[in-house]
Structure 1
């Protein structure tokens, strides 16, 4: 047989095998890589979603936390994983819309290195302060920050948290020092201990600590109040007019993963994302359940990248 004919037949055979590959998928455990620490909102979501996927597919899901380096470590590990649909990055706008505008170089490409699978959820953040800080409102915090320029600090363990704090500084005209952490949970631990003064963090991380009395909650970051704590004003209502900052979760696989596998994984994740156990997690944390096709996520991500570029530019943040 002529070599070129043989190559054509092999290629045709490989194409015919792809639908069968998708039909059998998954036939072994799936790994969810989370680029943030255990206990973070993304980690909690990945574990709830993983249990739902196991219920749907009868295959176990292993959650691997790879925090640190501004979520570079987890994103890079996911980008370099086998292109077979068995390694899924459960992530946020930090890795796929914000980092490219915060850093001069990334060890991964948020567009070229990944195949989008589906949007999962949107959420808001909460402004919490150390219990010993002599403030009872957002306006009190602004007055204190202006009276003591450079003396107050805010912590952040994600780009969403960082930009929320930077935008607060920019819109209030105050000088506050930002302190980076590997993830939001350790930042909250230092907030409770008094090493930092406040932070704007995801509801899943901050609200339980506020309800337990370990920190004081002053406001929420979104344009509307949260039903989880309706007594809390929005930051905009509390005097920083026009302030609005949220974040989103999505699933990605390495670029080059076969399209039929991506399509099958999309079906699995969309269905799992609607299971009652996952819906309960979203409701408990004030998140909105979402779903999308891979192409819809691709377009959404592009729009979000443009949005975050403008926010970061308005906050006057220089690329590191």
Structure 2
């Protein structure tokens, strides 16, 4: 039989292999996990820790590939267009699957239709901090002061449309606080100006503000998580303080392209659960202020739809737009 005919028949027979049979041998080569942010940040750290644990469970390397750009849109586009075979995955966040579809006129993907949910991985809280010169000790006092001195209080963020900006807009709309957004080119300069007292407040991630709070350079008034956090047990949640039911954490999840076979999704979810049950790997994340919060495909799908509504509303309220 000619080689071309043999290859054609082999390809055809492979196409007829049942999904369950293909899932039993999955994976038989390395898996790529695309991360839409540069190396070194918390998103990259979460991706690499989870990838390491999944590699052990799957018996094949899970290789992290950083594809930064447009707050996660570049990586999301690549995964949305990939083959739904389980070998190209996305570490997604509340940016690409929360705010970006409202923030960008055309992000290049549909956050629901173009993806297969696999697992929610973890969350990181945001912290409302003020400079110590601001004469308040509670969120209620902050809101009252901003109303008493309209137009005088500002809050910093990494950029227009960044999580710190949008959480601030949620806070404004839900409390009536009179605060004005001041965008920066990155979280570091934003925090530097708040620490120096040039801007009164910001919503910063736990990792970035924890040390300044501990040293007294900043004062923490509330956290955006559903529950208080061990690192700041005396700091109330915004839900406790002024906005019942409120939460606005950063989050991380694993997704693949749409129409991935259920057995492969299940195999990947099991690998995630195994990875985040490992005590050593959990410690590496919790030491960075990351809260392990694993949920399966169906729950993640519902969660993303709710997050798209929440962050999308914050974008609309803010009037923010991205190029």
The normalised TM-score by structure 2 is 0.77
- Residue in 2 aligned with 1:153? 155
> Who is 2:101 aligned against?
100
1:251 is displaced (CA, Å) by 0.7
Given candidates 304, 309, 315, the residue that maps to 2:307 is: 304
Cα–Cα, structure 1 residues 46 and 35, in superposed 2: closer, same or farther, change >3 Å? same
Tell me if structure 2 keeps the 8 A contact 1:164–1:245.
Answer: no
Residue 244 of structure 2: aligned partner: 242
The residue number in structure 2 matching 1:162 is 165
Match for 1:206 among 209, 218, 239? 209
2:176 aligned with 1:175, yes or no? no
C-alpha spacing 1:138/1:319, structure 2 compared with 1 (3 Å) = closer
Alignment partner of 1:264 is 2:271: no
CA distance 1:286–1:50, change in 2 (3 Å)? closer
Contact 2:86 2:260 in 1 (8 A): yes
Question: Retained in 1: the 8 A contact 2:118–2:269?
Answer: yes
For the aligned residues, what is the CA RMSD?
3.5
Deviations 1:213-265 (A, max 9, x none): 55432321235322221121333555x34372223321111224444433322
Q: 1:234–1:90: structure 2 CA closer, same or farther, 3 Å change rule?
A: same
8 Å Cα contact 2:169-2:314 kept in structure 1: no
CA displacement at 1:16 relative to structure 2: 1.1
Secondary structure of residue in 1 paired with 2:319: coil
**Which residues of 2 match residues 1-320 of structure 1 at below 5 A?**
13-16=14-17, 18-130=19-131, 136-139=137-140, 141-142=142-143, 145-146=146-147, 147=149, 149=151, 152-156=154-158, 159-170=162-173, 171-179=175-183, 181=185, 184=187, 187-188=190-191, 191-192=194-195, 197-211=200-214, 215-238=218-241, 240-242=242-244, 244-247=246-249, 248-281=251-284, 283-284=286-287, 285=289, 287-292=291-296, 294-310=297-313, 316-318=317-319, 320=321
Aligned residues: 309
Report the Cα distance in structure 1 between the residues aligned to 2:198 and 2:114, rounded to whole angstroms. 38
Bigger mean CA deviation after superposition, 278-287 or 43-52 = 278-287
Unaligned runs of 5+ residues in structure 1 are 1-6
Q: Residues 139, 55 of structure 1: CA spacing in aligned structure 2 closer, same or farther, 3 A cutoff? A: same
| Change over 3 Å in CA distance of 1:143–1:202 after alignment to 2 | same
* TM-score, normalised with respect to structure 1: 0.78
Instruction: Report the Cα distance in structure 2 between the residues aligned to 1:305 and 1:131, rounded to whole angstroms.
Output: 35
Change (3 A) 1:26 1:204: farther
Q: Once the 2 structures are TM-superposed, how far is the Cα of residue 312 of structure 1 from its aligned partner?
A: 5.2
Equivalents in 2 of 1:172, 1:76: separation in Å?
A: 37
Q: Structure 1 stretch 103-112 or stretch 206-215: which is displaced more?
A: 206-215
Deviation at 1:110, TM superposition (A): 0.6
Unaligned runs of 5+ in 2: 1-7
